A and B are shown apart, each in its own frame.
Chain A
Amino acid sequence: MSATRVSLTDWLRGSAVYRSIVRHGTADTNRNRSLVIFENLFLHVHPVKVREKTLRFSHTYWLGGVTLVSSLVLIATGILLMFYYHPSVPQAYRDMKELNYVVDNGLFLRNLHRWAAHLMVFAAFLHMLRVFYHRAYRPPRQFNWVIGVVLLIVTLFLSYTGYLLPWDQLAFWGVSVGTNMAKEAPLVGEKIRFLLLGGNVVSENALLRFYVLHCVVLPVAFLLFLSVHIWRVRKDGGVQGPPSDTNDPRGEEAP
Chain B
Amino acid sequence: MSATPELHAVESTDPLAVPRRVALVRPDTRPAVRRIEERYVMTFPHLIVREVILFQVVVIALSLVAVFFDAPLEGIANPIETPNPAKAPWYFLGLQELLHYFPPIVAGVLLPALVVLSLAVIPYARINLTAGPLWSRGGKSTALALAAVTAALFILFGAFGCWPIAVPTLLTAGAMFAARGGATGGRLRRALARVTLPEWIMTWFVVIATLLTVIGTFFRGPGWTLVWPWSGTI
Contact = CB atoms under 8 A, between A and B. Distances in A.
Contacts of A184: 104-105, 108-109
B18 A202 contact: no
Interface stretch (A13-21, A111-119, A213-221): A111-119
Interface stretch (A4-12, A65-73, A225-233): A65-73
B83 to A, nearest CB: 6
A173 B108 contact: no
Interface stretch (B33-41, B140-148, B162-170): B33-41
Nearest to A108: B66
Given A33-B45, A178-B88, A137 B73 contact: no
Interface residues of A, number: 91
Contact of A46 (B36, B43, B128, B194): B43
A234 B161 CA distance: 48
Contact of B59 (A73, A97, A172): A73
Interface stretch (B24-32, B92-100, B150-158, B172-180): B92-100
Contacts of A108: 66-67
A249 B131 contact: yes
Contact of B40 (A50, A115, A139): A50
Contacts of A116: 62
A43 B109 contact: no
Given A53-B38, A145-B123, A172 B77 contact: yes
A169 B88 contact: no
Contact of A27 (B45, B62, B70, B120): B45
Interface stretch (B2-10, B46-54, B225-233): B46-54
Contacts of A128: 119
Nearest to A48: B43
Given A111-B70, A115-B66, A174-B87, A146 B79 contact: no
Contacts of B206: 129
B81 to A, nearest CB: 8
21 contacts: A33-B45, A43-B44, A46-B47, A50-B46, A66-B54, A111-B65, A121-B91, A142-B123, A159-B89, A166-B73, A169-B77, A170-B73, A170-B74, A172-B78, A174-B88, A183-B104, A185-B108, A185-B109, A189-B109, A247-B132, A249-B130
Interface of B: 13, 15-19, 36, 38-48, 50-51, 54-55, 58-59, 62-63, 65-67, 69-79, 81-83, 86-92, 95-96, 99, 104-105, 107-109, 116, 119-120, 122-124, 128-133, 194, 196, 199, 202, 206
Interface of A: 27, 30, 33-34, 36-37, 43, 46-53, 55, 62, 65-66, 69-70, 72-73, 89-90, 93, 96-97, 100, 107-108, 110-116, 118-119, 121, 128-129, 132-133, 135, 137-143, 145-146, 149, 152-153, 156, 159-160, 163, 166-174, 176-178, 180-186, 189, 201-202, 246-247, 249-250, 253-255
